[in-house]
Chains A and B, each alone.
Chain A
Amino acid sequence: MARTLAMFTDTSLCIGCRACQVACKQWNELGLETPEWTGTYQNHAHFTEKTFRLVRFIEAPGAKPNGDLAWLLMSDVCKHCAQAGCLDACPTGAIYRTEHGTVNINQDVCNGCRYCVASCPFGVVSFNEQTGTAKKCTFCRIHNGLGPACAKACPTDSIQFGFRDDLVAKANKRVETLKGMGFKDAQLYGADSGGFLGGLNAFFLLLARPATYNLPEHPKLPQRNVVVDSLLSIGSAILVGVGAMLAFRQRGKGGE
């Protein structure tokens, strides 16, 4: 059994440069898209079918240890959840988990139904009209040790790639260091495999509460309901089918 690979994004090291966004786009040949006005340097409000790494810019007055303005900078990405909503929702099996724990969408199998788009608690998965398929971070290049393009490019090592357990140990130490420096809200997001979604294989160190970064505090799999609904639909289909059979048999018998 291969050890789980992960990406640890330590936002305390992020300088918001967007090397990750461009390295991802360059390696994955994602193509040109029009940016949006967000009021900051951020060029999209949400992930898109051509933006898998998105740097977020959040001004947080008073959030520095000395009470000064903080500019929270975060390179956001697909979380490669241990319990992945997109994977659970995918009806065709296009979305699969590699032996290393990462989640990927097989573009040849995807039929464009978009159940995954609705099922991601983080709004990561996007639909590409041109290819007619769902798109998200592929956790690229792990199979030859190069590591994801974003991690390699990151100038300050904010994005770190490696074995999950090593990274979690490192991340825990880092939180303690930051707390010692006065960053009292420093916390990990998704490091705990006993926590939400079974832990994230792309987890984060945040300098403020998740809500400050527009991240859900307690993300859940939305398709608990989808599964139940499906069962209900299937269940009712069966009932209808059985009912119809019975009706036919009765007609058959009743006949004349």
Chain B
Amino acid sequence: MTTNLIDLQHSDVIMITSNMAENHPVGFQWVMKAKERGAKVIHVDPRYTRTSAAADIHMPLRSGTNIAFFGGLMNYAMQKNLYFKDYVVHYTNASFLLDPAFKNATDLNGLFTGYDGSKKSYDRSSWKYQLDGEGNPKRDLTLRDPLTVFQHLRRHYGRYTSAMVERVCGIPKAKFEEVAQLYCGTSGPEKTGTITYALNLTQHTNGVENIRALCMLQLLLGNIGRPGGGVTALRGHANVQGATDLELLYHELPGYLPMPLRDAHPDLKTYLEKETPKGGFWVNRPKFMVSLLKAFYDDAATKDNDFGYQWIPKRASADAYSHQHMFVDMYNGIIKGFLADGQNPAVGGPNAKLARAAMQRLDWLVVVDIFLTETAEVWKEPGVNPKDVKTEVFFVPAAPAAEKDGSLTNTMRLIQWHEKAVDPPGDVQTDAQFFCTLAHRLQKMYAGSRKERDKGFRAANFTYGAKPDHPEMVEVLKEINGVATEDISDKDGKVLYRKGQPINSFAQLTDDGKTTSGCWIYTGVTVESPDGKLINKAASRKPAEGTDYLAHGWGFAWPANRRILYNRASADLTGKPWSEKKKLIWWDPSVPGAKPEDKPGKWVGLDVPDFNAFLAPDAKNGDKPFIMRADLVGGFFGPLNDGPFPEHYEPVESPTKNLLSRQQINPVVKIWKVPDQKNELAPVGSKDYPYVITTYRLTEHHLSGVMSRYLPMLAELHHSHFAEISHELAKELGIQNGEKVTVVSPRGKVHVTAMVTNRIKPFTIDGKTVHLIGVPWHWGWKGVEQLPGSKGDITNDLSSTVGDPNVFIQETKAFVCNVKKGVV
């Protein structure tokens, strides 16, 4: 999240689009705190959940219509002048003039200029600003020029009227306008609002555009970077943020550096040229990339060999290697061996039947986990004869967090250190131990190699501390932070860093090989005290006190311990807070500058400035808060693979045609062809699969159930695997509460107990009744023997292999199904 959980208490209106009370209960206390202070809470969710119970307004919307909803809010805000004009004019690209050749989706009936139907992709050459003589975007600060981003936005979302929202989302017009008035009322200096989201917005073929739409609304209302504002992205796992930062993802290297592509980045020079923008903080990309290469390859990375750039694998295509690609390619035999470390794709990923069938075709499978998961035992899946599965399986028991030291990064970018309380029993390994031991064994096998292609791997260091296979975790964190590879002095010869000393700030990383950094955004987490001791800021434990409600002394938030991102936007062009009620940082002209000879003045306040602390508001770029973007302003117009503005498309499987345009689904959606009918899709408005299904989580369980179904204290909290069905649908189908039912999709079926409830209601979509059911996905065939309800069918057998065109995330929040009475 761009903001901080503690800061939620300062919101005037909180719009929860996720299910925060159930999936982030302890974080939810700050929503309750906001309520105590008079805030209103709106819950937007197809189902009435425990979050709705605590909210002032619950507004159900049909799964898969988030852009119609956010677009409707943006249209409402622009129509009613409920947007923060000064913020929009000065801090966003709303005033920028677009190339006259560019046309939006209102002009082109659901598409943007440059669409090539045969290639299913966009030629984006018209998606650009008009530039002046100096190469800067031309602007109209009145926002009236029809070619401004703002006017394009108006026309693009002009179709998203309240009446249209009612038809598409199933939200009655009056209710929508009540919520729109309430939420858009947070525009302007005196009020702020925040919006939460989680997988409810991401798990769609419009996933990334859903989030863009939320961000754009927040920019329109002037909420980003201000107390009680921001984008409250609620991540799901103890360290999914850390795993994302340290890049266990197909398309990036640690620190959000693009993973090289064969065609675009044949060498380091080309890579850096293409990936380094002309403006914004990413102009420092070369420093971060070179420092990463030095961290990976140590002394073997030199200027002469491009710091080992060629040893990093190059992707054959941007459309390859993601999670869903992985299982299709595994099924097709491209992948021979597979490591599943602390993840259970037999249950947890989309099209789980395909995933299991794919794993049953591997030569070998290594599973590192706390318990024997369904993935570990995929070779004896119910209904499968182990004789038919040739896969060799290696199971290494893994240690949970209490049995090791290390750091975890939570959803508010806060890195917290946790202490080892007990030793792992028996042969249980920590994951760090596993990776280092494996690396050392491999390096031993490669010890005699003189091949160029093996040099990089042989040079990479996996020893941290005295015991090679048991790394000292704080030493690893220090490498992530970054150190000096030789003594570094300033231009006057004063030694800034000794060789091996941790770097204090990413501003001091270099592109000449003098620094390493495993992940530049973490730089500053380990520093050295004046007497040479290593200080691990992730282990700082100073509670919040006084005005420091953001608790800068507890843990370390990246970047640079800034708790609320883009906080420059909390102040106006002169450096004064937009409102005293909503102050966060401000320019103090009386405080000394960086050096004695500098003009005085500094940004001060309640947070570390997410800005050059000494850049005056009236200096060049002193009024541009969005420092990570090339043009330093918030982006309404922002090219993604599927368009510069989010546009509503129906989910790949939908009960209705798209009412907003002629374009039924995302025009550049990724749909995989899988042999053996393992990815069949229902046609639009299918009579065989007439109901919308959404999948979700419960408070008491965790993801694929490995950390909950095996724990009696959690497994006993729910009787069995269930589906939530409305009274109306139950009546139609003759189903009673507590009966077993079968939920069927084109991919598979599950048997679950029907929970008939008032909390699900049918939708009216364009005048027709559309039923929705909800099915949690925590169950698998393993569990606690004494608790038969801890075992169940795998909900993800129902979902398909389709993906968002930007990051290939799956569409598990909105697809179609049928429901049959009994066990069929």
Contacts and interface: CB of A to CB of B under 8 A. Distances in A.
Interface string B714-751: 10111110000000000000000110000000000000
Given A22-B713, A36-B719, A43-B717, A15 B755 contact: no
A34 B716 contact: yes
Interface in A16-41: 16-19, 21-22, 25-26, 32-41
Contacts, number: 98
Contacts of A40: 755, 757
Interface residues of B, number: 39
B408 to A, nearest CB: 19
B717 A73 contact: no
Given A17-B21, A69-B758, A155 B28 contact: yes
A37 B758 contact: no
A39 to B, nearest CB: 4
A208 interface: no
B32 A156 contact: yes
B784 A32 contact: yes
A41 B53 CA distance: 14
A155 B713 contact: no
Contacts of B29: 155-157
Nearest to B753: A37
A213 interface: no
A69 B58 CA distance: 9
A82 interface: no
Nearest to A50: B716
A36 to B, nearest CB: 6
A39 B787 contact: no
Contacts of A59: 757-759
A39 B713 CA distance: 20
B26 interface: yes
B786 interface: yes
B28 A43 contact: no
A212 to B, nearest CB: 14
B758 A34 contact: no
A17 B57 contact: no
Given A18-B700, A19-B25, A155-B26, A35 B789 contact: yes
A69 B784 contact: no
Interface in A50-81: 59, 61, 66, 68-73
Interface centre among A41, A68, A157, by most chain B C-beta atoms within 10 angstroms, is A41
B54 A15 contact: yes
B52 interface: yes
B138 interface: no
A73 B25 contact: no
A180 to B, nearest CB: 11
Contact of B25 (A15, A25, A36, A37): A15
B22 interface: yes
A15 B53 contact: yes
B712 A17 contact: no
B699 interface: yes
A13 interface: yes
Given A41-B718, A43-B716, A34 B786 contact: yes
Nearest to B756: A39
Interface string B24-44: 011011001000000000000
B758 A73 contact: no
Contacts of A69: 48, 58, 758-759
A17 B50 contact: yes
Contacts of A32: 712-713, 716, 784, 786-787
Interface residues of A, number: 33
Contact of A66 (B28, B56, B699, B786): B56
Contact of A35 (B26, B53, B719, B737): B719
B696 to A, nearest CB: 13
Contacts of A26: 713
Contacts of A34: 716, 786-787, 789
Contacts of B22: 15, 17
Contact of B738 (A37, A70, A156): A37
Contacts of B719: 35-38, 43
A71 B759 contact: yes
Interface centre among A21, A43, A66, A156, by most chain B C-beta atoms within 10 angstroms, is A156
Interface string B48-83: 101111101110000000000000000000000000
Contacts of B712: 32
A16 B49 CA distance: 10
B405 to A, nearest CB: 24
A227 B789 CA distance: 44
B717 A16 contact: no
A36 B716 CA distance: 9
Interface centre among B28, B50, B58, B737, by most chain A C-beta atoms within 10 angstroms, is B50
B737 A15 contact: no
Contacts of B698: 41
Given A22-B714, A26-B713, A71-B50, A17 B759 contact: no
Interface in B245-288: none
Interface centre among B26, B716, B718, by most chain A C-beta atoms within 10 angstroms, is B716
Interface in B1-39: 21-22, 25-26, 28-29, 32
A103 B533 CA distance: 53
Nearest to B52: A71
A69 B758 CA distance: 8
Contacts of A15: 21-22, 25, 28, 50-51, 53-54
A34 B26 CA distance: 27
B50 A155 contact: no
A12 to B, nearest CB: 9
B786 A71 contact: no
A13 B29 CA distance: 9
A223 B714 CA distance: 37
Interface in A217-239: none
Contacts of A35: 716-719, 787, 789
A156 B787 contact: no
Contacts of A61: 758
A71 B22 CA distance: 14
A21 B717 contact: yes
A18 B717 contact: yes
Contact of A73 (B53, B714, B737): B53
A157 B758 CA distance: 27
Given A18-B717, A34-B786, A71 B53 contact: yes
Contacts of B25: 15, 17, 19, 155-156
A18 B50 CA distance: 12
A42 to B, nearest CB: 9
A38 B758 CA distance: 15
A13 B32 contact: yes
A18 to B, nearest CB: 6
19 contacts: A13-B54, A15-B21, A15-B28, A15-B53, A17-B22, A17-B50, A18-B699, A21-B717, A22-B713, A22-B714, A26-B713, A35-B787, A37-B719, A37-B720, A37-B738, A41-B717, A69-B48, A71-B52, A156-B32
The 10 closest A-B pairs by CB, nearest first: A71-B53, A32-B712, A15-B21, A155-B25, A155-B26, A17-B25, A39-B737, A37-B719, A35-B719, A16-B50
Given A15-B28, A39-B737, A61-B758, 16 more contacts: A17-B25, A26-B713, A32-B713, A34-B787, A35-B717, A35-B787, A37-B738, A37-B753, A39-B755, A66-B57, A69-B48, A70-B53, A155-B25, A155-B26, A156-B28, A156-B29
